[in-house]
Amino acid sequence: MRKLGTLLLVAFLALTACKESSKNKRYLPPSTGAINSLMVVMENDLWQGEVGDKVRALFADRVLAVPQSEAIFSLTQIPPQVFSGAITNSRSVLYVQKDSLSIGHVKSNVYALPQKVAVVKGRTNDELLTNIDAIAPKAIASFKNNEISEAQKRFKRSLNKETDLKDVLGIHLDIPSVYRVGKHEENFVWLDRQILKGNMNIIAYTMPNNSFSNDSTFVRDIVSMRDSIGKKYVPGPYEGTFMITERAFSPYIFPAEINGYKAAEIRGIWEVNGYPMAGPFLSYIINDDINNRKLILEGFIFAPSANKRDDLLELEAILKTLEILPKKSV
What does each C-alpha distance from 144 to 38, 59, 94, 174, 310 come to in angstroms?
Answer: 10, 11, 13, 19, 11
Q: Which tens digits make up the pLDDT trace of 232-276?
A: 999 999 999 999 999 888 899 999 999 999 999 999 999 999 899
- Shared-domain flag, residues 233 and 294: yes
**171-178: long-range contacts, CB 8 A cutoff, minimum separation 24:** 171/204, 171/295, 171/322, 171/323, 171/324, 171/325, 172/321, 172/322, 172/323, 172/325, 173/202, 173/204, 173/297, 173/318, 173/319, 173/321, 173/322, 173/323, 174/318, 174/321, 175/202, 175/318, 176/314, 176/318
Among 121, 155, 189, the domain boundary falls at: 155
Confidence of residue 327 (pLDDT cuts 50, 70, 90): confident
Residue 9 confidence (pLDDT) above 50 = no
- Shared-domain flag, residues 177 and 302: yes
- Shared-domain flag, residues 113 and 181: no
| Number of folded domains that form the chain | 2
pLDDT of residue 36: 98
How many Cβ atoms sit within 10 Å of the Cβ of residue 79?
13
pLDDT of residue 307: 94
Domain assignment present for residue 26? The answer is no
User: What stretches of the chain show up as alpha helix (H) in DSSP?
Assistant: 2-24, 44-47, 50-59, 125-155, 164-169, 218-233, 309-319
pLDDT of residue 84: 96
- Shared-domain flag, residues 147 and 215: no
pLDDT of residue 12: 46
- Say which CATH number the domain at 305 has: 3.40.1000.10
pLDDT of residue 164: 97
pLDDT of residue 305: 86
Q: What's the one-letter identity of residue 27?
A: Y
pLDDT of residue 68: 86
- Say which CATH number the domain at 103 has: 3.30.379
Domain assignment present for residue 220? The answer is yes
- Shared-domain flag, residues 191 and 172: yes
Confidence of residue 328 (pLDDT cuts 50, 70, 90): low
- Shared-domain flag, residues 190 and 309: yes
Q: Which tens digits make up the pLDDT trace of 165-200?
A: 999 999 999 999 999 999 999 999 999 999 988 999
Confidence of residue 25 (pLDDT cuts 50, 70, 90): low
- Shared-domain flag, residues 172 and 146: no
Domain assignment present for residue 201? The answer is yes
Among 155, 185, 209, the domain boundary falls at: 155
Q: Which domain holds residue 205?
A: 164-324
- Shared-domain flag, residues 197 and 298: yes
- Shared-domain flag, residues 282 and 307: yes
Q: Which tens digits make up the pLDDT trace of 92-122?
A: 999 999 999 999 999 999 999 999 999 999 9
- Shared-domain flag, residues 192 and 306: yes
Domain assignment present for residue 59? The answer is yes
- Shared-domain flag, residues 175 and 110: no
- Shared-domain flag, residues 191 and 314: yes
- Over pLDDT 90: what percentage of the chain? 85
pLDDT of residue 94: 98
Among 117, 133, 155, the domain boundary falls at: 155
